[in-house]
């Protein structure tokens, strides 16, 4: 039995040798344009496998990245429900500044308020006013901007400075112009733009402001806000304390954010406020969509894999069926069926390898850097291409396995035909 096994191994080795010998010659002497076309199809198939699902995941990843960059940082500390601000905020800020890997922070005052735009034209108190509820945020513009680079996302006007006392920046979702929704639950301001005067009311106090800038980050928590100078905010809200609504901190690359969060918990910060990492701060719908798109990506990837397998099957089958006589001669001169099948599998793997190679170059050296620099402008996120080395390797391996299968089946069908019929073309 062992001897039989050894004989089979030796026979397989010979078949491998002869199969690769035949495959190399077949590839070398094949029509160059046909080879280019097959490799092109394989490259597209690979891109279908990696890029389509990568864009789907990247669509949400863009949202995640924006949420982290323009809103939550690495860690965001906010008050418990029913509390209007973080108690002993300044003490917490000091603790945050001492955390390992600390890079910077911004603190935001905040409270609910109302904005009205046509208050000057409405003398009749029963007339419908152009108004909406909003979350008013008081910031140190320089600190906020250096941390979140939020001013990069201005679509109109300019950002407020520390000396602006009568100007505000509005999130685009507050304006009908950018978010044409007018439902009882969410109203938007109409006919309002840069330079328009608006009345902001919070904690029973009112003040007139001029809109200096409009920003669109595609992060809901930002685009529904009004930003003003923190000194004005405190004055308007009647606050004399320094307790803020949000503390956002970022850390140097490589810092383990979950460990950083646990440091804050160890110091009792969680007794006074809610501490969230950027992932925890993502809205639940975003995480749900992330999971959904991940599943969609896998489904589309699976379809791509089936398409890839069928493509390889057709290529090899056409190649084998048009060379029935060639295969018949090989069998006629004593070449084993295994060697012939191996030669076709190697050819299929060669096409798949080139497809993966060129596809990977396109993905990692062209598409990914390009989309990172020029994200796709989706309505709710700036889509990037998510393609990890690990994920791509896994997909490549699956593609290679499908290739072996898709290369084996057609060669099996053709090799099984009667040798003499194949040689004589009957």
> For binding to other proteins (CB under 8 A), which residues are involved?
10, 14, 17-18, 21-22, 25-26, 28-30, 325-326, 329-337, 339, 418-420, 423
Whether 399 and 305 have beta carbons less than 8 Å apart is answered as yes
- Cross-strand partners of 199: 116, 208
Distance in angstroms (rounded) separating the CA atoms of residues 147 and 171: 18
Output 202 or 330, the one with its CB closest to other proteins.
330
Q: Which two tokens stand for residue 63?
A: 């949202």
Is residue 333 within 8 Å of 423, Cβ to Cβ?
no
Cross-strand bridge partners of residue 180: none
Are 209 and 168 contacting, i.e. CB atoms less than 8 angstroms apart? yes
> Any idea what DSSP says for residue 106?
E
CB of 30 to other proteins, least distance (A): 8
Rounded CA gap, 351 and 358, in Å? 11
The distance of closest approach from Cβ of residue 408 to other proteins in the complex, given in angstroms and rounded to an integer, is 17
Least distance CB 423 / other proteins (angstroms): 7
Judged by beta carbon, residue 172 or residue 319, the one nearer other proteins is: 319
Nearer to other proteins, 326 or 400 (CB): 326
In the complex, minimum distance from the CB of residue 309 to other proteins, in angstroms, rounded to a whole number = 26
Residue 318: closest CA among 203, 386, 181, 411: 411
Strands 167-171 and 197-202, how do they pair? unpaired
Q: How far apart are CA 82 and CA 417, in angstroms?
A: 79
Please give the Cα distance from 298 to 342 (Å, whole number). 30
Which CB sits closer to other proteins, 327 or 363?
A: 327
Question: What is the C-alpha separation between 111 and 237, in angstroms, rounded?
Answer: 8
Within 13 A of 30's CA, how many CA atoms are on the CB side? 22
Q: Which is nearer to other proteins, 210 or 337 (CB)?
A: 337
How does DSSP classify residue 417? S
Min dist. Cβ of residue 26 to other proteins (A): 5
What phi, psi does 28 have (nearest 5°)?
-60, -35
Which lies closer to other proteins via its Cβ, residue 30 or residue 394?
30
- What is the Cα 24 distance to its own chain's centre? 41
Cα 283 to Cα 275: distance, rounded to the nearest angstrom: 15
Q: State the nearest-atom distance from the C-beta of 15 to other proteins, in Å.
A: 8
Residue among 66 and 414 whose Cβ is closer to other proteins: 414
Q: How far apart are CA 291 and CA 288, in angstroms?
A: 5
In the complex, least distance from residue 395 CB atom to other proteins, rounded to whole angstroms:
32
Nearer to other proteins, 307 or 329 (CB): 329
CB of 326 to other proteins, least distance (A): 6
Nearest approach, Cβ of 4 to other proteins (angstroms)?
13
Closer Cβ to other proteins, 22 or 174, answer by number? 22
Q: Which of 354, 373, 374 is nearest to 35 (CA)?
A: 354
Give yes or no for a contact between 132 and 179, defined as CB atoms under 8 angstroms apart.
Answer: no
- φ, ψ of residue 367 to 5 degrees: the values are -65, -50
Q: Toward other proteins, which CB reaches closer, 12 or 400?
A: 12
Residue 289 CB, nearest approach to other proteins (Å): 52
């Amino acid at each position: 039995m062992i001897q039989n096994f050894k004989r089979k191994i030796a026979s397989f080795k010979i078949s491998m040798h002869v199969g690769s010998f035949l495959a190399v010659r077949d590839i070398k002497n094949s029509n160059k344009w046909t080879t280019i076309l097959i490799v092109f199809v394989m490259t597209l198939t690979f891109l279908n496998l990696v890029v389509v699902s990568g864009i789907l995941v990247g669509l949400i990843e863009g949202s995640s990245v924006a949420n982290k960059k323009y809103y939550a940082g690495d860690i965001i500390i906010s008050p418990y429900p029913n509390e209007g601000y973080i108690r002993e905020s300044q003490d917490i800020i000091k603790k945050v500044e001492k955390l390992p890997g600390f890079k910077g922070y911004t603190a935001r005052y905040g409270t609910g308020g109302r904005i009205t735009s046509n208050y000057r034209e409405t003398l009749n108190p029963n007339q419908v006013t152009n108004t909406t509820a909003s979350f008013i945020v008081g910031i140190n513009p320089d600190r906020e901007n250096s941390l979140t680079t939020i001013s990069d996302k201005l679509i109109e006007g300019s950002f407020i400075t520390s000396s602006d006392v009568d100007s505000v920046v509005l999130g685009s979702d507050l304006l009908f112009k950018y978010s044409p929704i007018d439902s009882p639950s969410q109203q938007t301001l109409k006919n309002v733009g840069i330079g328009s005067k608006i009345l902001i009311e919070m904690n029973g106090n009112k003040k007139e402001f001029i809109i200096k800038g409009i920003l669109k980050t595609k992060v809901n928590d930002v685009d529904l806000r009004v930003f003003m100078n923190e000194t004005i905010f405190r004055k308007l809200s009647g606050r004399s304390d320094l307790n803020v609504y949000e503390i956002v901190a970022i850390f140097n690359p490589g810092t383990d954010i979950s460990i950083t969060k646990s440091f804050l918990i160890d110091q009792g910060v969680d007794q006074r406020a809610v501490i969230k990492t950027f992932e925890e701060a993502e809205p639940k719908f975003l995480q749900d969509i992330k999971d959904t798109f991940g599943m969609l990506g896998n489904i589309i990837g699976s379809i791509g894999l089936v398409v890839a397998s069928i493509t390889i099957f057709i290529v090899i089958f056409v190649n084998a069926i048009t060379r029935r006589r060639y295969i018949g001669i090989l069998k006629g001169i004593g070449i084993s069926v295994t060697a012939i099948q191996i030669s076709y599998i190697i050819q299929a793997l060669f096409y798949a390898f080139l497809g993966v190679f060129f596809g990977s170059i396109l993905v990692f050296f062209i598409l990914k850097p390009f989309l990172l620099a020029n994200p796709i402008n989706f309505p709710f996120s700036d889509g990037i291409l998510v393609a990890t080395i690990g994920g791509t390797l896994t997909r490549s391996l699956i593609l290679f396995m499908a290739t072996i299968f898709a290369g084996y089946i057609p060669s099996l069908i053709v090799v099984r035909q009667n040798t003499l019929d194949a040689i004589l073309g009957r």
